[in-house]
Amino acid sequence: MKNYSLRRVSPSTEALLARLNGWWRSPAKWIGWGDVPGVLEQIGNSKEPLAIPFIMSFGIVGNERIRAQALSAIHRLFSSLPIEFLPLLDEALRPAWIPEYSWHGMTAEQIPALPKSSDAELLYLNLMSCHQSGYVRAAALQTLSAESTATSIPFILSRLVDWVREVRLAAEIALRNKLNPIYGDEFVRCLGLIGRLARNSRYRPEFTVWVEDLLRSRECAESLRRGLSAESKDVRRRCYRIAVSSPSFPFRDAILHAIADDDVVVRRWAFELATSRPGEDHDAFRRKAAEDPYGPIRRMALEAYLDRETIEPGELERYLYDRSATNRHLCQRAFSERLGLQPAEFYRAAIRDHAAKQPAICIQGLAETGNPGDAILVAGALQRSSSRVRRVAVQALGALGVGGHEQGLCQLVSSDVLSVARVSASTLLEKRAVPAEAVWAAALENPDAKVHRGVLRLLRSTGKWQQLGYYLRAADSNDSDFLDCAIELMNLWVEKFNETFTPVSEGEALQLLKMLECVRLGLPVDLARQVEFILQRVSQ
């Protein structure tokens, strides 16, 4: 469900609701129901639960066809609401009303007489627990407490934080009556809702204890097991914490299930718990953590291994090629300080072996641990077929030294894909390896117009007046995107002009004025006037 439907109805649904509201106010209601059934059908198909408050009153009209259509629409809308967001619907239900036949006109005495033969009718009774009258809410809870159905449980839980004390007491009594293993699946489904309600100051912690004690029972073991595979992350997280403390649920089963979960919070919690519990096979869990896709979890495994008195290079080597720079650095220090080995040697050997896996990480590692002499080995990777490897090789050259490789980097700027060309240009400009003019000329040779714009933005690192020259030259382009980019950067240049003081020769200022005249027609009038004023002032 889209997030907007939890805050407001969409314009299309709002238009349908306006038609219903108009029907209540028009004379047509005295001669027939018109297109009301069709409108209710469309609203029911919208999957926007916050439309429910606006059609609640149709659930008590005298026309059986309309009532059934409204109940069906409400049921379909409610089925699209994640149960933990029930408090949002509860807030929306209280103020919503329609002048005549309003469901807010219901009294407590009418509640027990509401039909309960279908799921849609039971849901309507449940929604009465969100009525604006405390008497009606209490009557609805008393009726729901006597019903042997699980659908009322989330509504009972919601009323535990009601602002009326008598309603809260009625909800507590109803909850006690529902604490039965046959409702285990529904209580599991409501764990996310319980977590949200627990933030309310009127919520009492013992309510959570009651529910969790029920779910720890042997009769609820299968419900708890199904909760470990629930779609909701909140439900799964709470189920795992209940499962590891349940006498009817094997601890190891819960942990093995948790470390395979796609929620990184669950996996991290599971590894921390498993490795801190006495009597568990810590090495087995550590090896599984070392293969986790999430870097901080792999770091937990690495730190656990480094806590040992003795470590082996074979066990540690995998972390030299870790995707996480933090993990690599930690491993590199361990190689140097505890094993007396140079990690750079491992990276050099891997780079020379063209069949080695993860060449990009090997190049990064060598840039982190190598010396300027390794630049020649890294430069060989500029010819690799992978653009990622070439890009990382350029970044490594920036760290090790680009001396002697300037021509190769300029070639990448003029011919490679955007990511590689841009990082090559950035490295050359940052290290001042070649004049900015050479980088600009190489960029214009690249057939990809995106490279032209990317390098133009990088030229902001050049001198103040040199920048303006590049922007004016770019403004002479027939490429509209390139022209727009030049105008954007020129506006920024004018905006920040007074932030720095850089003298300019009279000849350079006059040259820039001539360039401005050549491109004036392609520039916004105000921008051209501002640039001209600046150049005239500095040339005097």
Residue 21's pLDDT is 74
- Where is the domain boundary, 416, 445, 461? 461
My answer on whether 527 and 496 are in the same domain is yes
412 found inside a domain = yes
Residue 455's pLDDT is 96
Which one-letter DSSP state was computed for residue 118? S
Residue 99's pLDDT is 46
Backbone dihedral angles phi then psi of residue 445, each to the nearest 5 degrees = -80, -20
Selection from 278, 228, 275, 277 nearest residue 249 by Cα? 228
Three-state SS sequence of 469-494: HHHHHHCCCCCHHHHHHHHHHHHHHH
Reduced to 3 DSSP states, what percent helix, strand and coil does the chain have, rounded to the nearest 5?
75, 0, 25
530 found inside a domain = yes
240 found inside a domain = no
Query: What DSSP assignment string belongs to 319-333?
Result: GGG-S-HHHHHHHHH
Task: State how far the Cα of 314 lies from the Cα of 346, in Å rounded to an integer.
Answer: 12
Distance (Å) of CA 256 to CA 218, 246, 463, 491: 20, 15, 59, 58
My answer on whether 409 and 422 are in the same domain is yes
Residue 420's pLDDT is 96
Selection from 362, 305, 370, 367 nearest residue 339 by Cα? 305
My answer on whether 443 and 481 are in the same domain is no
Task: State how far the Cα of 189 lies from the Cα of 229, in Å rounded to an integer.
Answer: 11
Residue 10's pLDDT is 87
**Stretches in the chain below the pLDDT threshold 50:** 1-4, 27, 30-31, 97-100
Residue 274 · residue 240 · CB < 8 Å: no
Residue 4's pLDDT is 41
My answer on whether 470 and 452 are in the same domain is no
Backbone dihedral angles phi then psi of residue 35, each to the nearest 5 degrees = -95, 20
486 found inside a domain = yes
Which one-letter DSSP state was computed for residue 446? S
Task: State how far the Cα of 516 lies from the Cα of 538, in Å rounded to an integer.
Answer: 15
My answer on whether 441 and 504 are in the same domain is no
pLDDT in tens, 311-334: 899 889 999 999 999 999 999 999
Residue 280's pLDDT is 65
- Where is the domain boundary, 438, 461, 484? 461
Residue 30's pLDDT is 41
For the chain, the straight-line distance linking the first and the last C-alpha, in angstroms and rounded, comes to: 65
The mean pLDDT of the chain is 90
488 found inside a domain = yes
My answer on whether 449 and 470 are in the same domain is no
Task: State how far the Cα of 529 lies from the Cα of 256, in Å rounded to an integer.
Answer: 70
331 found inside a domain = no
Residue 171 · residue 141 · CB < 8 Å: yes
Residue 25's pLDDT is 58
- The token pair at 387 is 């653009």
Which one-letter DSSP state was computed for residue 434? S
My answer on whether 471 and 484 are in the same domain is yes
My answer on whether 445 and 406 are in the same domain is yes
- Where is the domain boundary, 445, 461, 477? 461
My answer on whether 470 and 507 are in the same domain is yes
Residue 523 · residue 475 · CB < 8 Å: yes
Residues 6+ apart with CB under 8 A from 506: 539
Task: State how far the Cα of 229 lies from the Cα of 257, in Å rounded to an integer.
Answer: 9
pLDDT in tens, 258-317: 999 999 999 999 999 988 887 667 888 888 899 999 999 999 999 989 988 888 998 899
AA letter at 308: R
- The token pair at 406 is 């300037």
Residue 23's pLDDT is 63
Residue 430 · residue 398 · CB < 8 Å: yes
What is Dmax (Cα atoms) for the chain? 95
Residue 3's pLDDT is 45
- The token pair at 531 is 């640039």
Residues 6+ apart with CB under 8 A from 18: none
Domain hosting residue 437, numbered range: 402-461
Other C-beta atoms closer than 10 Å to the C-beta of 164 total: 14
Residue 359 · residue 382 · CB < 8 Å: no
- Read off the pTM: 0.76
170 found inside a domain = no
78 found inside a domain = no
Residue 485's pLDDT is 95
My answer on whether 411 and 425 are in the same domain is yes
Other C-beta atoms closer than 10 Å to the C-beta of 484 total: 12
Residue 323's pLDDT is 93
- The token pair at 491 is 């506006």
Task: State how far the Cα of 484 lies from the Cα of 490, in Å rounded to an integer.
Answer: 10
My answer on whether 468 and 506 are in the same domain is yes
Number of domains within the chain: 2
